[in-house]
Structure 1
Amino acid sequence: MVATTFQALSGSLTDITTRLGLRTPAQAGHLIVHSQQGSLDALENVLKRYLPEEQIEAVKRAYYFAEQAHYGQVRRSGEPYVTHPLAVAGILANMHLDAQSLLAALLHDVIEDTGVTKHDIAAQFGDDVADLVDGVSKLTHIEFDSAELKQAENFQKMTLAMSKDIRVILVKLADRLHNMRTLGVLNRDKMRRIARETLEIYAPIAMRLGMNEVRMEFEDLGFRALHPMRSKRIEAAVIKARGNRKALVENIQQQLSDALDNEGISADILGREKHLYSIYRKMKVKRKLFSEIMDLYAFRVVVDTVDACYRTLGIVHSLYKPVPGEFNDYIAIPKSNGYQSLHTVLKGMNGVPIEIQIRTREMEDMANSGVAAHWLYKTEQGSTSASHARARQWVQGLLEMQERTGDSLEFIENVKIDLFPDEVYIFTPKGDIMELPRGATAVDFAYAVHTEIGNRCVACRINKRLAPLSEALESGQSVEIVTSPSGRPSPAWFNFVVTARARTNIRHFLKDQRREDSVELGSNILEKALRAYDTRLRDIDEQRLDHCLERFGQASLEALYVEIGVGNLLPHVVAAQLSLGNKNDDDATLEEAVAIRGSEGFAVTYAKCCCPLPGDPIAGYLSQERGIVVHRDGCANLSEKRDQPERLMALRWDEEIDGQFAVGLRVEAENRRGIIAVIANRLSVIGLNIERISSHARDTHFTYIDMELKLSSRIHLARIMKRLRTIDGVRKVTRTSRR
């Protein structure tokens, strides 16, 4: 196999000589073979530390297979293409990944870029390796409308493969890391596009999987590609600051070392420096000067056992004064990516802030390699296997989100939201701990517990007190969700939920609910329209119904109802088509008013210009996408639509009304202190909540107080207005539209 490969390689030396600027094919061949063999030998030396001989031989066989498959292909830099998969395998080998992952790394581009098929790989190296390679391969045989759609579809494909085998994403991250390291040979636009994609997706994924070293390298390489001048200036400033701080850092380090030695604790104490992108992001987001960010002196203390971690914490707290509120125990409560450590901030000499992280050696490996450390410690139990389980749980969540979303562009936007978890830790009523992103609300918590809990959520208790659903949660709080069988998500929830799971489920529910509401309303309207033609839907023969559906481009009767319900099709036009022309289209009107009961959901909206209440004479306008818009009969805005008589509808209130309806009130009252509180208290006593309130002075003596209430009927409104007029200082109460 080796001889065949080298012989085939030498056949392409004329091209390679030209690219490398060498004089003879023999010179080129000698350089390439020597370079590749050296890299392969280096990989083999790493593998000998942790893999048995037969698995190392399988890896070498995969290398020769890839070399043959990529024969004649070169990278933009002029190097043979096989140097890329070899470098990817080297990255994974340094993480001590298993042999199958290394085989997939060496073969990861052969399906995408050569004539080799998945079946060929399975025949040579087994089905598991073939599935890994296929999972990493992009969709190359499909034309996409845009680069964004292509990115989204490829990410969806990778997510599905990840759900079956988490190693897919590890190979992909290593692939992207080597591409980022060699980004300089690309043109400026492509370099920026790849760097931006890396910062938006792959760096956060590495963080989510706890692969901190990979994440930091992604961020710094991406930062250099996107903002080369900024990165150079910050890097120069860091080097300068490092020299100025050297003596103080060594002094603190020595004090920590002496204190631990006195207590018999063996530890490695490392000075920790923020990487470039982290400094840039903090300067930009927090609007801080470089000097303010570099004021913090950071150290990492690595010890042997968990017990030693807590003993070390006590020692450093006795050495320096801890800053209140700046201690976090991520050993007892690990982060969602499995990260464990003790974090504390201290006040050192002359008030210098010192940040210290304390962890075991295994936690250190986990912090750097994350889920990849699962293979490093796979024979042991504990945090590593838990981290692997968390990663699988996250990927499973992505899969569920993908199934719910359906649209690949929407899915990848949700993934981007979900990839930045600065966590808070919330307790369930049973004492279990749930991790949520910072800024999460009770609605996010409800959906994290279960989709049905979120869909039926109506209220919440935070630390046993009733609180708004929109209130941001804080670590340590206990949250209880109050549900109701009649509860349903509100579009207003989109204004404050932060998790992709909550957003996806709310959107999914509202979409289904809107369809159900539209089906019911469309059926009701069409039946009323057919009565104008002296017929009923059940009397329409199947052939005529099919012809009507075909004419209006609908696949089913339900789809036809939806189009009528949302206002895209006019009911009397559909009725005329179904009725075989029993009556002239010009005479076809909705002779019987459609009954409105208040529970039609999204298919019926109530005009803000006149705020109709049960008891008001009403009429409707069939609006596209909004369904029936209900107005008071004398509304000026409705009168302006008389030029579209085909969209006007006769409406009436049903005998059984279900729900509360928004109405505006204007109270003219004396301009004196406390009058608004008196009005609010009077309404609260009778069980009414003010949805919205504002005031502005009419003159020096009187003020206008505009408010929005939810009432059940016109009679209810009359009682409220009468009660408000009895308040001392209230001069006049009138009904208005909502403000």
Structure 2
Amino acid sequence: MDIQPFFTEEERKDFFSKYRQLVRSLYSFLQKEDIRKMRELMQRVVALDCYGRDKNGINGLIRNINTALIATTEIGLKRTSVIALLLYRPVLKKAVTLEEVEKTFDADVTLIIQRLLKTSDLYARNTAVNSENFHHLLFSFAEDVRVILIMIADRLCLMRLGKQLKEDDRLRLATEASYLYAPLAHRLGLYKIKSELEDLSLKYTDSKQYDFIKRKLNETKRSRDLYIAGFIAPIEKKLKEAGLHFDIKGRTKSIHSINNKLKKQKIEFEGIYDLFAIRVVLDTPLEKERSECWQVYSIITDMYQPNPNRMKDWISIPKTNGYESLHITVMGPQNKWVEVQIRTRRMDEIAERGLAAHWKYKGVKAESGLDEFLNTVRAALEEKENNPLDLMQDFKMDLYKDEIYVFTPTGELIKLAKGATVLDFAFAIHSKLGCKCVSAKVNEKNVPIKYVLHNGDTVSIVTAPSQSPKRDWLNIVVTSKARVKIKQALREETAKAVDFAKEMLQRRFKNRKIEMEEPHLMRYIKKKGFKTVTDFYVELAEERLDPNNVIDEYQEYVRKETEANERSEVRSAGEYSTTTEVEEISTNKDVLVIDKNLTGIEYKLAKCCNPIYGDEVFGFVSTQGIKIHRLDCPNAQEMFSRFGYRIIRAKWSGKGDNGYVVTLRVIGRDDITIVTNITSVIGKESNVTLRSLNIDSVDGIFQGNFAVLVRDTNSLNMLVKKIKAVKGVKTVDRLNS
């Protein structure tokens, strides 16, 4: 391949090294002519510059080969997926046709490329996931999980290249990875990749905390290694005496999980006792797996006192993503609690490589959980009226939840998310049972539908023919399956109520011999303050509005409207001018374009970070409407990680000449002339107005807060630069609020 001009010398070496590694890892899965065909195609598309550098200078072909290596060596994808991944970009750029790909390889490769093309916006490097394209992501997930695995591999590849990205791109990528791709990796059982994505996200979004934990881990490494060696030695001796074949090692917990413990438990680093876990991996045939795992459990608990409250048996009942392991916590030397994980080589491979390892061990009972989850995704996507924002909310919450195991009266085991209620259980059995549920018997005791279930509960649902889903049920359930089914039932009930109310109102109009004109009625409904026509008819159906009062008010409204129109006829057309509130917002020169190129949408600027024209911003859908935040808002990370489904894109358009108030904190040497000089600088700036100032002076240090009205970030940056040049000024910082 003569593609030297395309690479730097270092990139050229890296590419051919990775290429050989990829071929070696896939060799036994490739067909006879695959390598020759790929080489010929790649030579052609490289010559057409399909793999050009992006705006960060990253070589597209290097990125693709690295992603392909992750996909095959760390996730376990094979020939079809890797070829599709390498040819996706040439097909996207129309250098190669799908027909040519199918002719050269096969229809399955073409199928994956087609599905990757559907998510091309998401697969593009800098596109943040919003409510609209999340629907496409879920659709791809339900249609072909390999597409999502490729996208996870690509995000991991980019996160590893993080230092080569611009800071803004790195932040977007990190927040997207933490609130979406890490949870997806978790749901698919890719624990190693999930941990790395989380750690890298923390590194890029909170580097101080990341570096602090990393430094602390390095400082305690020697004593930790000595402790692990001392803990393992007697166990190793006993397991060998029992004739077992195994590996045993200590594993330090991820930086992200340690950070979570620090935040949740509000303790110092030294207060965390479980910084590591011991893992015993048995080499044993399938039929002996369970018995040998329990044999190891018995040997370890004979030597060290176990904590019964921290015992997790995922061997008898695997997690829904296929994870199998026996977790115990025992009291080790120096009275320290130590977590021990016991599993077999097969279980370990599934734990590390997730879904792809399931295909290798097809037929093992642990794989059914993912099929159930995908069926729920498909059911939600079939609901055409499902709001994309609701989809994000429903499925984001299902990705990371721990599980509980409960039983039907006949002993059938049902897996539910931790925190699931009686109502979740009813919908898990059948949607009809859920819709008619009024209460339940849990362990022979009567409980209400909102009762939270616990591991091992036996549940019997009580129904009533007159029962129907209520809107507040959405606050009771925690599983996406229950939410989807409740919303579906509520929509059906609403549709019936609207039809009934429409028919009833038309009948009342007819009885009173009044003609109902649709345009007048629509304007009357809007004037009454209803957001939608459906809301109006629901109020009528539920008898919160009197139809006779509605007709009287409608007549009065039509009368006034007619009189106003008659009066307006004598005025000059040139005198008429009016705008609605939304139009006023949308015609501002500093208008925001929200989500998918939408303007004229009402929004508020968040007080926590006070964004101004020119700041990089995003929208957050709150209960008070859309709030606009700066990308570097102190609350941004929390919003992205906990409420990713509410995030929408936003960007400025037009000119920002309306003015925004920004507070600057200036610190410097205490000098009588410093305030005069700063206010003089502000006064000379044509696009800046001083609104207020607050000054303090302690121990020879001057500190002042200057509230200024600026047009945009350009005028703000220019002002900050000039204030910094004032004699005696040390620092100038923009306050968030």
1:284-333 Cα distance to aligned partner (Å, 9 max, x none): 12323322324455200011231211111111111111112222211110
SS in 2 for 1:489: coil
> Which shows bigger deviation, 237-246 or 514-523?
514-523
Which residue does 1:319 correspond to in 2? 303
Which residue does 2:464 correspond to in 1? 484
**Conserved in 1, the CA contact under 8 Å of 2:190 and 2:355?**
yes
Distance 1:549 1:487 in 2: 35
SS in 1 for 2:159: helix
1:140-192 Cα distance to aligned partner (Å, 9 max, x none): 689xxx977x6333332233233332211111111111111112222322221
Is 1:366 the equivalent of 2:350? yes
Distance 1:237 1:206 in 2: 28
Q: CA deviation at 1:241?
A: 1.6
Q: CA deviation at 1:253?
A: 0.9
Seen in structure 2, the aligned counterparts of structure 1 residues 85 and 348 have a Cα distance that, compared at 3 Å, is same
Instruction: Kindly report which structure 2 residues correspond to 1:60-75, keeping only aligned pairs within 5 A, or say none.
Output: 60=39, 63-64=42-43, 67-68=46-47, 70-71=49-50, 73-75=52-54
Q: CA deviation at 1:391?
A: 2.4
**Structure 2 residue aligned with 1:470, among 439, 450, 464?**
450
> Which shows bigger deviation, 65-74 or 324-333?
65-74
Distance 1:374 1:140 in 2: 27
Seen in structure 2, the aligned counterparts of structure 1 residues 560 and 397 have a Cα distance that, compared at 3 Å, is closer
Q: CA deviation at 1:357?
A: 0.7
Seen in structure 2, the aligned counterparts of structure 1 residues 370 and 565 have a Cα distance that, compared at 3 Å, is closer
> Which shows bigger deviation, 405-414 or 168-177?
405-414
Which residue does 2:195 correspond to in 1? 216
Give, as a single letter, the amino acid of the residue that structure 1 aligns with 2:71: L
> Which shows bigger deviation, 560-569 or 336-345?
560-569
Seen in structure 2, the aligned counterparts of structure 1 residues 501 and 240 have a Cα distance that, compared at 3 Å, is same
SS in 1 for 2:267: coil
1:462-502 Cα distance to aligned partner (Å, 9 max, x none): 11211121121111111111122211122222333211222
**Conserved in 1, the CA contact under 8 Å of 2:119 and 2:137?**
no
Which residue does 1:616 correspond to in 2? none
Which residue does 1:155 correspond to in 2? 134
Unaligned 5+ runs, structure 2: 524-531, 561-737
1:441-473 Cα distance to aligned partner (Å, 9 max, x none): 011111112222111111111112111211211
Which residue does 2:626 correspond to in 1? none
Which residue does 1:278 correspond to in 2? 257
Which residue does 2:396 correspond to in 1? 416
Distance 1:74 1:268 in 2: 44
Instruction: Kindly report which structure 2 residues correspond to 1:191-340, keeping only aligned pairs within 5 A, or say none.
Output: 191-295=170-274, 297-305=276-284, 306=289, 307-340=291-324
TM-score normalised by L of structure 2: 0.67
Distance 1:159 1:70 in 2: 32
Distance 2:244 2:322 in 1: 25
Q: CA deviation at 1:37?
A: 2.5
Which residue does 1:80 correspond to in 2? 59
**Conserved in 2, the CA contact under 8 Å of 1:135 and 1:162?**
no
Distance 2:211 2:338 in 1: 27
1:227-248 Cα distance to aligned partner (Å, 9 max, x none): 1111011011111122222222
Distance 2:247 2:292 in 1: 12
Q: CA deviation at 1:84?
A: 1.1
Give, as a single letter, the amino acid of the residue that structure 2 aligns with 1:439: G
Q: CA deviation at 1:565?
A: 4.8
Percent identity over the alignment is 28
SS in 2 for 1:279: helix
Is 1:104 the equivalent of 2:84? yes
**Structure 1 residue aligned with 2:512, among 507, 528, 532?**
532
**Greater RCO, 1 or 2 (C-alpha within 8 Å, sep 6+):** 2
**Structure 1 residue aligned with 2:334, among 350, 354, 358?**
350
Q: CA deviation at 1:90?
A: 0.9
Distance 1:42 1:164 in 2: 30
**Conserved in 1, the CA contact under 8 Å of 2:521 and 2:554?**
no
**Conserved in 2, the CA contact under 8 Å of 1:526 and 1:572?**
no
Give, as a single letter, the amino acid of the residue that structure 1 aligns with 2:295: R
SS in 2 for 1:530: helix
Instruction: Kindly report which structure 2 residues correspond to 1:131-146, keeping only aligned pairs within 5 A, or say none.
Output: 131-137=111-117
Distance 2:465 2:44 in 1: 61
Q: Provide the aligned C-alpha RMSD in A.
A: 3.3
> Which shows bigger deviation, 244-253 or 520-529?
520-529
Seen in structure 2, the aligned counterparts of structure 1 residues 97 and 413 have a Cα distance that, compared at 3 Å, is same
Give, as a single letter, the amino acid of the residue that structure 2 aligns with 1:78: G
SS in 1 for 2:440: strand
Residue-pair matches, total? 538
Give, as a single letter, the amino acid of the residue that structure 2 aligns with 1:353: W
**Conserved in 2, the CA contact under 8 Å of 1:529 and 1:575?**
yes
Q: CA deviation at 1:82?
A: 1.0
> Which shows bigger deviation, 290-299 or 220-229?
290-299
Distance 1:471 1:333 in 2: 24
Is 1:174 the equivalent of 2:153? yes
Q: CA deviation at 1:36?
A: 2.5
Seen in structure 2, the aligned counterparts of structure 1 residues 193 and 80 have a Cα distance that, compared at 3 Å, is closer
Seen in structure 2, the aligned counterparts of structure 1 residues 169 and 72 have a Cα distance that, compared at 3 Å, is closer
Give, as a single letter, the amino acid of the residue that structure 2 aligns with 1:322: P
Seen in structure 2, the aligned counterparts of structure 1 residues 365 and 490 have a Cα distance that, compared at 3 Å, is same
Q: CA deviation at 1:55?
A: 4.6
**Conserved in 2, the CA contact under 8 Å of 1:327 and 1:343?**
yes
SS in 1 for 2:171: helix
Q: CA deviation at 1:552?
A: 5.2
Give, as a single letter, the amino acid of the residue that structure 1 aligns with 2:131: A
Seen in structure 2, the aligned counterparts of structure 1 residues 132 and 154 have a Cα distance that, compared at 3 Å, is farther
Q: CA deviation at 1:39?
A: 2.2
Unaligned 5+ runs, structure 1: 17-27, 536-543, 587-739
Q: CA deviation at 1:403?
A: 2.6
1:57-92 Cα distance to aligned partner (Å, 9 max, x none): 555556546535544611345343111111111112
